[in-house]
């Protein structure tokens, strides 16, 4: 075959044709992954749209059996999409508003939702149905469309204005050949559960094929900080990119181009860059060639510049991570950290970490690892991800966890890492794992060591308390027997051994005595440090002549009197009062002190606020 014949066979292919034959690159390489990724892409788009419009997201996901596969519908309460944009957003690859925008977002390439439409039409032959409405009093637009893979253009099969009982929002419905499973980590339920964990402002409702409804409710009514778009930073530039920017520059001078095209370059810095590069600031940028671009790149790195601004990022925050984990997991301990922003190749990023321990978590299994990028769960390629690799190389024995043979620690542990960046370095278009970037590795390790140290302190304290409790149990059993025996020998009443127990174990002794209607409470500190707590007396009757004077509150039909106590080692505090009426119910509560330190006449010890527990006479 000669060159002319070979030339006739050469032709360009569209991006849609490429992904038609390589859907595995987008994460559609198995039936279960196809289901998860289809839901994921639609939900991610809904979350981004709502947040950009300052709307608290309400997202409905409905999955039911269809004619060929599963029908999936994802509906949101976002701002909606203008009619002219609907076909391109859903029916054209590499069409979107975020690709050139340097700010944190879930999607950027304009591939995800188009891939879902393509997978749907390839596996079922059916079009995707989209309804969108931009506000009250405006019509809803219905489209049924497919993708022409030869041209990478949408094929609109139906377009109508319809009545839709929603004030605004977007609904996408498609049918795919997939697999719906439940009860394992990689499933739609677990994806949505994890999504709600890092998006605590969102409410997500899932209706499963069997009709079961699950609501992942929001735990806060405030939207996250909206990330701001920033220009590229000079330290992230590559030669070809800079040359392209120079060719397309509309500025009349190089100085103006530098100031307006990059972050952290002001007039003085621009003049210094030009001086280092040996180029006049008044030079037209579109006239500069390859050699000039190389000089500018060298100047970028030789001139001192601030790191790029970090208001392009939107962290979850330590507080909301804590609340989210507490909502989803029954654990004894949670530590969270949000690291200071850092930079790689001119791209700002930050790492957040959390660790949860104990409770109902399995004790003899490997730790549960939760990986997130820009508030999106990463469910696949765990072993290839930099997050997992950093977890495996840390010596968790230093933080009181078991790590037989190295690798992932074993025990009742959940380890969570979130990486937020304007440009997450994913390993593939499927966005399932983060690449090994040294700067990101260091920050992940720093975050994990931060929460690891907090866990070690908790477990060390827990072990100390456990030993003290064991010592107290032995002593409290032995001393009464000894006191009784001594009393029998001396023919006297056995002494009260509780103060002795408190002194031996280094605790706080509380003794409550009642003589008629006079009450006296003695508090003695046998520990080695100053103790601060609140003592509550909850009574059926009012009290008179209290010394010292307490604060007074009502708890239903009971009176809550409270004294703030600060007591030094070996110091004693006396509280006295007269109670109105005789007898009645009362409750003695200590708030803000460790339970294991207290010995004596106390009904309950609380670490947090006061709550009703029980009454006694």
Q: What is the model's pLDDT at position 611?
A: 38
pLDDT band at 198 (very low <50, low <70, confident <90, very high): very high
Residue 454 CA to residue 399 CA, distance in Å, equals 9
How are beta strands 586-591 and 604-606 bridged, if at all? parallel
Confirm if 306 and 335 have CB atoms less than 8 A apart: no
Instruction: Give CA–CA dist 507/504, Å, rounded.
Output: 8
Say if residue 283's pLDDT is above 70. Answer: yes
The residues, any chain, with a CB within 8 Å of residue 6's CB and separated by 6 or more, are none
Burial of residue 477 (CB within 10 Å: 0-12, 13-18, 19+) is: exposed
Q: Which of 171, 187, 221, 180 is nearest to 61 (CA)?
A: 171
What is d(CA 413, CA 400) in angstroms, rounded to the nearest whole number?
12
pLDDT(617) > 50:
no
* Res 395: pLDDT: 94
Taking CA atoms, 173 is separated from 66, 117, 475, in Å, by: 11, 10, 69
Question: Using alpha carbons only, how large is the chain's radius of gyration in Å?
Answer: 33
Q: Is 446 helix (H, G, I), strand (E, B) or coil?
A: helix
The pLDDT score that the predictor gives to residue 588 is 87
**Angle at the Cα of 414 (from 413 to 418), degrees rounded to 5?**
150
Asked if pLDDT for residue 26 goes beyond 80, the answer is no
pLDDT tens digits, 223-269 = 998 888 888 888 878 898 899 999 999 899 999 999 999 988 999 99
Averaged pLDDT, 107-112:
62
Q: Which of 316, 261, 379 is nearest to 104 (CA)?
A: 316
pLDDT of residue 608: 45
Specify the pLDDT at position 615: 33
Taking residues 130-148, report their average pLDDT: 94
Mean pLDDT, rounded, for 408-417: 95
Per-residue pLDDT at 219 exceeds 60? yes
Identify the CATH assignment for 15-216 out of 3.30.565.10, 3.30.2310.20, 1.20.120.530, 1.10.1740.10.
3.30.565.10
**How many Å apart are CA 72 and CA 60, to the nearest integer?**
10
| Across 139-148, 450-459, 505-514, least confident range | 505-514
Residue 353 bridge partners (DSSP) = 337, 417
> Domain residue spans in the chain?
15-216, 234-302, 318-451, 498-606
- What is the reported pLDDT for 595? 73
Q: Cα 426 vs. chain centroid, distance in angstroms?
A: 19
Q: What is the pLDDT of residue 616?
A: 32
Which residues have CB under 8 Å from 561's CB, separation 6+? Answer: 536, 537, 538, 539, 543, 546, 550, 551, 552, 577
What pTM does this model have?
0.72
Tens of pLDDT, residue by residue over 467-501, are 656 665 656 666 566 666 666 666 677 666 566 66
**pLDDT at residue 554 in the model:** 81
More confident residue, 490 or 112: 112
Q: What is the pLDDT of residues 47-89, one digit of tens each?
A: 999 999 999 999 999 999 988 889 999 999 999 999 999 999 9
pLDDT reported for residue 507: 81
Asked if 414 contacts 407 with a C-beta cutoff of 8 angstroms, the reply is: no
* 218 pLDDT above the threshold of 50: yes
Residues 6+ apart with CB under 8 A from 467: none
Amino acid 347: pLDDT: 83
Instruction: Tell me how many helices (H) and strands (E) the chain has.
Output: 14, 24
The tens digit of pLDDT for each residue in 374-412 reads 999 998 889 999 999 999 999 999 999 999 888 999 999
Average pLDDT, the chain: 86
The yes-or-no verdict on residue 39 having pLDDT over 80 is: yes
Sign of CA dihedral 499, 501, 504, 505: negative
Q: What is the average pLDDT across 20-35?
A: 76
Kindly report the length of the chain: 617
State yes or no: pLDDT of 172 exceeds 90: yes
Fold of 318-451: Ribosomal Protein S5; domain 2 (3.30.230)
Q: Which residues, 6+ apart, have CB-to-CB distance to 24 below 8 Å?
A: none
pLDDT at 604: 73
Q: How would you class 83 by CB atoms within 10 Å of its CB: exposed for 0-12, middle for 13-18, buried for 19 or more?
A: middle
Query: CA 226 → CA 257, 313, 317, 390, 513, distances in Å?
Result: 28, 8, 13, 29, 59
Measured distance CA(192)–CA(200) in Å, rounded:
12
Fold of 234-302: Helicase, Ruva Protein; domain 3 (1.10.8)
Alpha-carbon distance 517 to 280, whole Å? 94
* 531-539 and 508-515 beta bridge pairing: unpaired
The neighbour count for residue 499, using CB atoms within 10 Å, is 16
Does residue 589 sit in helix, strand or coil? strand
CATH class of 498-606: mainly beta
Mean pLDDT, to the nearest integer, of 434-454? 94
20-29, 35-44, 210-219, 306-315: the lowest-pLDDT one: 20-29
DSSP 24: G
Alpha-carbon gap, residue 79 to 136, rounded angstroms:
11
Residue 93 to residue 15: CA distance in whole angstroms: 7
Predicted pLDDT at 613: 37
Backbone angles phi, psi at 176, to 5 degrees: -135, 155
Identify the residue with better confidence: 467 or 413.
413
| Per-residue pLDDT at 610 exceeds 50 | no
Q: Is 513 helix (H, G, I), strand (E, B) or coil?
A: strand
Helix, strand, coil percentages in the chain from 3-state DSSP, rounded to 5: 35, 25, 40
Closest CA to 425 of 392, 390, 377, 385: 385
Give me the half-sphere count of Cα atoms (radius 13 Å) on the Cβ side of residue 423. 16
Q: What is the DSSP string of 325-376?
A: HHHH---SEEEEEEPPPEEETTEEEEEEEEEEESTTS-SSSBPEEEEEETTE
Given pLDDT bands bounded at 50, 70 and 90, which one contains residue 505? low
CA nearest neighbour of 63 among 171, 172, 180, 177: 180
């Amino acid at each position: 075959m000669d060159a002319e014949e070979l030339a006739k066979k050469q032709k360009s292919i569209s991006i849609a044709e490429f992904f038609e034959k390589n859907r595995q690159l987008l994460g559609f390489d198995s039936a279960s992954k196809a289901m998860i990724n289809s839901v994921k892409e639609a939900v991610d788009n809904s979350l981004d749209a709502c947040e950009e419009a300052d709307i608290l997201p309400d997202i409905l996901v409905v999955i039911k059996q269809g004619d060929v596969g599963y029908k999936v519908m994802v509906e949101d309460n976002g701002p909606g999409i203008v009619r002219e944009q609907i076909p391109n957003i859903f029916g054209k690859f590499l069409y979107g508003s975020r690709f050139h925008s340097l700010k944190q977002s879930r999607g950027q390439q304009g591939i995800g939702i188009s891939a879902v439409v393509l997978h749907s039409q390839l596996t079922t032959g059916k079009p995707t149905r989209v309804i969108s409405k931009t506000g009250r009093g405006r019509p809803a637009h219905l489209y049924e469309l497919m993708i022409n893979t030869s041209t990478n253009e949408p094929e609109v099969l139906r377009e109508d204005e319809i009545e839709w009982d929603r004030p605004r929002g977007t609904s996408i419905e498609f049918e795919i050949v997939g697999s719906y499973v439940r009860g394992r980590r990689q499933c739609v339920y677990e994806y949505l559960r994890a999504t709600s964990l890092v998006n605590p402002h969102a409410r997500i409702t899932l209706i499963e094929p069997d009709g079961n409804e699950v609501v992942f409710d929001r735990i806060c009514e405030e939207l996250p900080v909206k990330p701001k778009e920033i220009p590229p930073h000079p330290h992230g530039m590559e030669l070809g990119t800079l040359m392209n920017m120079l060719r397309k520059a509309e500025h009349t001078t190089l100085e103006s181009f530098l100031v307006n095209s990059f972050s952290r370059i002001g007039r003085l810095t621009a003049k210094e860059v030009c001086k280092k590069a040996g180029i006049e600031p008044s030079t037209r940028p579109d006239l500069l060639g390859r050699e000039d671009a190389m000089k500018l790149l060298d100047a970028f790195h030789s001139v001192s510049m601030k790191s790029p601004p970090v208001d392009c990022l939107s962290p979850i925050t330590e507080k909301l991570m804590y609340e989210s984990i507490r909502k989803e997991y029954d654990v004894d301990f949670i530590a969270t950290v949000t690291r200071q922003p850092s930079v790689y190749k001119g791209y700002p990023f930050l790492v957040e970490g959390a660790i949860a321990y104990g409770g109902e978590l399995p004790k003899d299994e490997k730790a549960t690892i939760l990986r997130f990028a820009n508030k999106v769960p990463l469910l696949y390629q765990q072993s290839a991800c930099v997050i997992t690799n950093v977890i495996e190389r840390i010596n968790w024995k230093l933080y009181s966890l078991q790590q037989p043979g190295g690798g992932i620690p074993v025990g009742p542990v959940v380890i969570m890492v979130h990486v937020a960046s304007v440009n997450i370095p994913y390993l593939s278009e499927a966005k399932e794992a983060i690449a090994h970037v040294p700067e990101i590795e260091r920050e992940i390790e720093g975050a994990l060591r931060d929460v690891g140290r907090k866990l070690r302190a908790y477990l060390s304290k827990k072990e100390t308390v456990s030993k003290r409790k064991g010592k107290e149990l032995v002593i409290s059993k032995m001393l009464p027997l000894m006191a009784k025996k001594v009393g029998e020998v001396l023919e006297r009443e056995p002494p009260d051994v509780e103060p002795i127990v408190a002194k031996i174990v280094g605790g706080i002794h509380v003794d409550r005595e009642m003589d008629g209607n006079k009450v006296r409470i003695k508090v003695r500190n046998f520990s080695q440090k100053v103790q601060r707590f609140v003592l509550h007396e909850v009574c059926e009757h009012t009290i008179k002549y209290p010394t010292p004077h307490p604060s007074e509150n009502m708890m239903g039909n009971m009176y809550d009197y409270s004294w703030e106590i600060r007591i030094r080692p070996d110091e004693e505090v006396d509280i006295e009062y007269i109670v109105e009426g005789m007898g009645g119910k009362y409750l003695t509560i200590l708030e803000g002190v460790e339970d294991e330190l207290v010995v004596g006449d106390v009904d309950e010890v609380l670490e947090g606020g006061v709550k009703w527990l029980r009454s006694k006479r």
